[in-house]
A and B are shown apart, each in its own frame.
Chain A
């Protein structure tokens, strides 16, 4: 038993930290740390820096331009990047469709798409959820019918994150309505510029435009743009959702947010006493810090098991549940920390280059919005209730 990182692992973390500090645009870092709005270029600029260094795809095999790192190094990479205030690597290409193509794509698809994912040339989005198919994803109704050399796609996707930036969408579609619902699903790769696609923003309760509805009206998709075999889309989707799990608990980000929470609670005064020194609030912070300590160790235990050759299993679902709870607690406490200055709504203050007079403390503007926005984390990627359903079957045999 040795709970400390090895010398090599510490050196690896130091190397990554030094790189982030040298290469990350300070303005972008400031926006990440202070919950300001990130532009497409903020994400992509950093993506390209990581790509030039060869560090953008820790989970891909070396043969495809990835790092080929083990689970521990992938975890360290993710954690250090988050702690240092780097924008998250956009997951849709690197963590989602990339691994699916590597495992199930045709040679032509791999040769064409994978380098473009690595370089950031293509921005992908995910076409899974539909208005009538949330937790019951397999009931999806967007259909694709073969017509000569093309699939003709009709239907609607929703909750499509950052579709407004996307060049391509990987889409679950029904290609056979006569079989069991899971067996009639295929995965298509669709150009977002195809005629017949309309993207409509969904504004969330924090006033932000992050998610969208995507409508497909007789969209013609080349026949070869199917992943693997028809009818196997459900299998590929499950592979996608279970593939990259070392980062699912978002430990690095949570540690960063805990530091921010403490900084805010030090700056806020209650009758002249820093909030962090008041009994009730200090104990609330301590409670979430302990939750986070336990989460980090649980994550490390699972990663160590993965590194030693055990396949990631039910544990990822646990990490999703606890990780989302910790993130939500942190956003809630940050909002709580600013007291009445949680009330003002000033979305302009989150915009790049805004240099107006803040309402209240300069850190207050994004906090309530982030709290409202972060209710999403226990809903997306399989709600926490769905995670419990999965664990109940896979871990408990119920």
Chain B
């Protein structure tokens, strides 16, 4: 048993921590959010220079390789700085899914561009009526000669505003909630019939609603086997959840540090408010919640690629429950202990609260994963 970071992970942590410390302060972030894209392309270029856009991509496609544990190190650092660039959508959901199921030709076409920092990806799976149910896919893929015609709608596609290619799920068979019959297609942004309505999320990240109206893609755009995509999508999303758990740990750690600092500096009734026991105990509970969340984030990253899906699902869903609950508790308590300042836009604390809240809403909240865990445990 060994909970220490590997040499590679220590270097990654140093690299990303230094980057966000030097160039991703809260004021820098405000400027980035105010820019035309809502994120920073120069910053993305820096990620590429540092090799971060090659993480998790096989070396034969110009990547650096690396496990979910390695990506979790980056995630935690990005969580501390509230990084808004579409790193998880492009690297974990995009490149990661291509790595799981893409043919050699598909990977060779896309992944070197991702590694070079010149290509963004997004997984377009959720739909307006699917909530968190992964097998709920209404979008249709009709065979047409050697091509497919994709029609339907995709909801809250993370990183969808910037994506150059989408990985779109659609039915080649089966009824709306059937586990079989779901296929994945690679769809370029410029495909005729694809409408992208991009928007900011309330935490500063970005997403899009997609409408597909008889979008024609060649047979070579099919990722993996027709009708067999659901296990791949579930695996890809579990990996994304492991990433989000680590990101949330970074955000919780930063928010706890801000809150503790505030307890020591804010004075009322002639004392720093941290002298009051009711706030001390609440702060201790926030630290305990953080440590419990960190334990589970470590487990999720460790099991995200477990060859036994049952083990993966148990660990990832349990972690998502813990992160959801810890994040909610820490976010709400932090705002409360800050008082009014906690809900002002100019103060960083509220932005961590927003990010933590949205992470709980992403790919299934604590309630959803409690049910999924219970089903896997039985």
Contact = CB atoms under 8 A, between A and B. Distances in A.
Interface of A: 1-6, 9, 72, 276-277, 279, 282-283, 285-287, 289-291, 293-295, 297-298, 300-301, 304-305, 308, 315, 318, 321-322, 385, 388-389, 391-392, 395-398
Given A1-B69, A283-B371, A286-B373, A389 B277 contact: yes
Contact of A395 (B277, B287, B298, B377): B287
15 contacts: A1-B6, A1-B298, A282-B378, A290-B321, A290-B373, A293-B296, A294-B296, A300-B1, A304-B2, A304-B4, A308-B4, A392-B280, A398-B264, A398-B274, A398-B275
Given A1-B3, A1-B5, A293-B299, A396 B287 contact: yes
A391 B321 contact: no
B34 interface: no
Given A1-B69, A282-B378, A294-B292, A389 B280 contact: yes
Contact of A5 (B1, B6, B294, B295): B1
B4 A1 contact: yes
B370 interface: yes
B302 A1 contact: yes
Interface string B347-378: 00000000000000000000000110110011
Interface of B: 1-6, 9, 69, 260, 263-264, 274-275, 277, 280-281, 283-285, 287-288, 291-296, 298-299, 302, 318, 321-322, 370-371, 373-374, 377-378
A277 B374 CA distance: 10
Given A286-B377, A290-B322, A297-B295, A392 B283 contact: yes
B1 A72 contact: yes
Nearest to B282: A388
B322 A396 contact: no
B280 A396 contact: yes
Contacts of A389: 277, 280-281
B280 A388 contact: yes
Contact of B374 (A2, A3, A283, A391): A283
Contacts of B302: 1, 3
Nearest to A393: B280
Q: Specify which of A9, A290, A391 lies most central, judged by the most chain B CB atoms within 10 Å of its CB.
A: A290
B287 A4 contact: no
Nearest to A290: B318
Given A391-B284, A398-B283, 9 more contacts: A1-B5, A2-B1, A3-B298, A286-B377, A293-B296, A294-B318, A297-B295, A304-B2, A392-B283
A308 B3 CA distance: 10
The interface residues of chain B, by DSSP majority, are classed as helix
A293 B369 CA distance: 15
A148 B153 CA distance: 93
A25 B374 CA distance: 35
Nearest to A76: B1
Nearest to B4: A1
Nearest to A1: B69
A73 B277 CA distance: 38
Contact of B263 (A277, A279, A300, A398): A398
Nearest to B286: A396
Q: Specify which of A279, A282, A294, A392 lies most central, judged by the most chain B CB atoms within 10 Å of its CB.
A: A294
Nearest to A391: B284
Given A294-B295, A388-B285, A301 B374 contact: no
A285 B296 CA distance: 18
A293 B371 contact: no
Contact of B291 (A3, A277, A304, A318): A318
Given A1-B3, A1-B6, A300-B1, A287 B321 contact: yes
Nearest to B367: A283
Contacts of A295: 292, 295
Nearest to A398: B274
A283 B367 CA distance: 9
A388 to B, nearest CB: 4
Contacts of A392: 277, 280-281, 283-284
Nearest to B256: A396
Given A5-B1, A287-B370, A318 B299 contact: no
A9 B2 CA distance: 12
A265 to B, nearest CB: 11
Given A282-B374, A297-B298, A6 B284 contact: no
A389 B278 CA distance: 10
Contact of A396 (B284, B292, B295): B284
A322 B326 CA distance: 13
Contacts of B264: 397-398
Contact of B288 (A279, A318, A385, A398): A318
B286 to A, nearest CB: 10
